[in-house]
Amino acid sequence: MEVREQLHKTLKKYFGYDSFREGQEALITQILNGKDVLGIMPTSGGKSLCYQLPALLLDGMTIVVSPLLSLMKDQVDSLRDMGIAAAYLNSSLDRQELLQLMDDIRYGNIKMLYIAPERIENEYFLSAVRQVNVPLLVVDEAHCISQWGSDFRPSYQGVARLYDLLGKRPVVAAFTATATKEVQEDILFQLRLQQPFQIVTGFDRSNLEFIVEKPADKMRFLLSDLNPNDSSIIYCSTRKNVESVHKKLAQKGFAATLYHAGLPEAERQANQEAFLHDRKPVMVATNAFGMGIDKSNVRTVYHYNMPKNIESYYQEAGRAGRDGEESRVILLFSVQDIIINKLLNSKTNDGEATNKLNKMINYCYTNQCLRAYIQEYFGEVIATQDCQHCSNCLNKAEQKDITEEAQKILSCVVRMRGRYGIQKIISVLQGSKQKGITDYGLDKLKTYGQMSKYSDQALREMIGVLIADEYLQVVGDQYPLVQVTQKALSVLKEGGKVAMSYALEETGDRAAKQTG
């Protein structure tokens, strides 16, 4: 009881809050009891408080390993405002500042030290830190230690070496917003956590509406959907896409800026600032943008291309609506996204990555509640299968049997001997008279023109379903070729069924409208 009171008093006194959020009190109590912890909380869940509060109550200097310079500075500034002796050690310090900081550490003047992982093995630091008591070592963004995660940082591996370099092993508290089982287990293993207390809290972001769109023309969709006055982020998979989407938006008069790793540092910084201060409310960026950015009023996060796994998707999408206001996350999906990703994976031949990619593709095709799908993926308890707040629940998607269509497409691919790409297959099915078709004698195939009443987009969509369900596969070095798989034989010969979802309320872009 006494401890609880003390915690609440400290919470109020330093942070000004009346109550803890889900998971905070449990994590703090365990840390104070000397237990290692792994806290898995979504972005904005309130992770910082879980280690800042114990740091205040413990004797000695708490070390916080953090990968982000900007975040470090923000946190240290706000801790200092609260009257807490905080400092950071990273590449931004000059020699004079570094030596001053080392003295401050030695004299016990620092309560919380934020440190970049690259600095852990710095000799000045090690010699200073050995002279003080370090009760707690915090590993923020702990997924960076895992090669399974999307933000692997080799320098994080130095964290566990620090235990031996310090006189006494501190309590270790790791935090992340990445919730997959493999990454969690890898964090426990790599950080050598000792019988840690683990907690996963509120991943569901109830103010976000999850939407998957399959527009025939993504740019046109974006131009009609984008609100020029709202803050939005548009994620693209490549720098080239970032440049071209940004250019088109700028031409249409949107106050848009851009961010990718290929831009000079100064330009990246300036663009980021313009976005953060709403001078340019629209940001077009690769996934290099966003980690550690705390902009609360982002109303929509678009994905112009499908990311390679649900973890990346959820982390990027989660940058919408941090203020709790209604916000949308919209994935603009096209079959091309599958082809590109499948092709990339076929080169690396990484089973794990392929598995994750397939889960991402299924997200784009599933009929299930999208929120439930994500919760299930992260191993959370599913609150409802009917959230009424995602494009599947709102559009009442239904299954349509496309077995007959699938048979025609698959037998066409067999006859084309797996030597052609998706566009040629479509042209043959439609009975196109283009030179590229007649020249190769493709107009002589039995399946030529068998699906002439289907639009390009409708056929593309169905081929997408067949790739997603692994009736078709994408192979090739430079040019993606489409071939049938073993599984396809069941549909061709044994009367297997293929289903595809389509929405009852058509938007005009959904493929199923044009079929049948």
449: left (phi over 0), alpha (psi -120 to 50) or beta: left
* DSSP bridge pairs for 298: 231
Q: Which amino acid is at 162?
A: L
Tell me the window of 16-24, 30-38, 362-370, 484-492 that interacts with ligand ADP (CB under 6 A).
Answer: 16-24
Name the residue nearer to ligand ADP (CB basis): 63 or 216: 63
Name the residue nearer to ligand ADP (CB basis): 176 or 375: 176
| Nearest distance, CB of residue 218 and ligand ADP, angstroms | 30
What is the β-pairing status of strands 398-401 and 472-475?
Answer: unpaired
User: Applying CB under 6 A, does 479 fall inside the site for ligand ADP?
Assistant: no
Exposure on the CB side of residue 48, measured as CA atoms within 13 A: 14
Helix or strand holding residue 348 (H, E) = helix 335-348
| Nearest distance, CB of residue 349 and ligand ADP, angstroms | 35
Residues near 354 by beta carbon (within 8 Å), at least 6 away in sequence: 345
Q: Are 43 and 117 in contact (CB under 8 A)?
A: no
Sign of CA dihedral 84, 88, 93, 97: positive
Tell me the window of 13-21, 123-131, 301-309, 311-319 that interacts with ligand ADP (CB under 6 A).
Answer: 13-21
Name the residue nearer to ligand ADP (CB basis): 41 or 64: 41
Read off the tokens for 312.
């990346």
Name the residue nearer to ligand ADP (CB basis): 45 or 480: 45
- Distance, in Å, from the CA atom of 218 to the CA atom of 337, rounded to the nearest integer, reads 12
Name the residue nearer to ligand ADP (CB basis): 53 or 410: 53
Read off the tokens for 464.
């997408």
| Nearest distance, CB of residue 8 and ligand ADP, angstroms | 10
Tell me the window of 14-22, 62-70, 100-108, 414-422 that interacts with ligand ADP (CB under 6 A).
Answer: 14-22
Exactly one of 3, 9, 17, 229 binds ligand ADP (CB under 6 A); that residue is: 17
- Distance, in Å, from the CA atom of 134 to the CA atom of 61, rounded to the nearest integer, reads 5
| Nearest distance, CB of residue 426 and ligand ADP, angstroms | 45
Q: Which of residues 30-69 bind ligand ADP (CB under 6 A)?
A: 41, 43-49
| Nearest distance, CB of residue 253 and ligand ADP, angstroms | 34
| Nearest distance, CB of residue 393 and ligand ADP, angstroms | 27
Name the residue nearer to ligand ADP (CB basis): 46 or 135: 46
Sign of CA dihedral 24, 81, 112, 203: positive
Which of these, 309, 258, 310, lies nearest to 286 by C-alpha position?
258
Helix or strand holding residue 71 (H, E) = helix 69-81
Name the residue nearer to ligand ADP (CB basis): 3 or 475: 3
Which of these, 460, 470, 475, 461, lies nearest to 358 by C-alpha position?
470
| Nearest distance, CB of residue 329 and ligand ADP, angstroms | 17
* Strand boundaries in 228-348, DSSP class E: 231-235, 256-259, 282-285, 298-303, 327-332
Q: Are 400 and 461 in contact (CB under 8 A)?
A: no
Name the residue nearer to ligand ADP (CB basis): 49 or 406: 49
Q: Which of residues 408-467 bind ligand ADP (CB under 6 A)?
A: none
Q: Are 482 and 472 in contact (CB under 8 A)?
A: yes
| Nearest distance, CB of residue 19 and ligand ADP, angstroms | 6
Q: Which of residues 367-406 bind ligand ADP (CB under 6 A)?
A: none
Q: Which amino acid is at 287?
A: N
| Nearest distance, CB of residue 200 and ligand ADP, angstroms | 13
- Distance, in Å, from the CA atom of 309 to the CA atom of 178, rounded to the nearest integer, reads 12
List Cα–Cα distances, 45 to 49, 205, 384, 509, in angstroms.
Answer: 10, 10, 21, 37
Exactly one of 7, 20, 67, 153 binds ligand ADP (CB under 6 A); that residue is: 20
Name the residue nearer to ligand ADP (CB basis): 43 or 366: 43
401: left (phi over 0), alpha (psi -120 to 50) or beta: beta
331: left (phi over 0), alpha (psi -120 to 50) or beta: beta
Name the residue nearer to ligand ADP (CB basis): 53 or 512: 53
Exactly one of 8, 10, 14, 21 binds ligand ADP (CB under 6 A); that residue is: 21
| Nearest distance, CB of residue 75 and ligand ADP, angstroms | 8
| Nearest distance, CB of residue 47 and ligand ADP, angstroms | 3
Binding residues for ligand ADP, total number by CB under 6 A: 12
Name the residue nearer to ligand ADP (CB basis): 74 or 401: 74
Q: Which of residues 256-275 bind ligand ADP (CB under 6 A)?
A: none
| Nearest distance, CB of residue 306 and ligand ADP, angstroms | 25
| Nearest distance, CB of residue 242 and ligand ADP, angstroms | 25
Name the residue nearer to ligand ADP (CB basis): 66 or 375: 66
List Cα–Cα distances, 338 to 18, 45, 116, 362, 514, in angstroms.
Answer: 48, 32, 36, 11, 22
Name the residue nearer to ligand ADP (CB basis): 49 or 142: 49
- List of residues contacting ligand ADP (CB under 6 A): 17, 20-21, 24, 41, 43-49
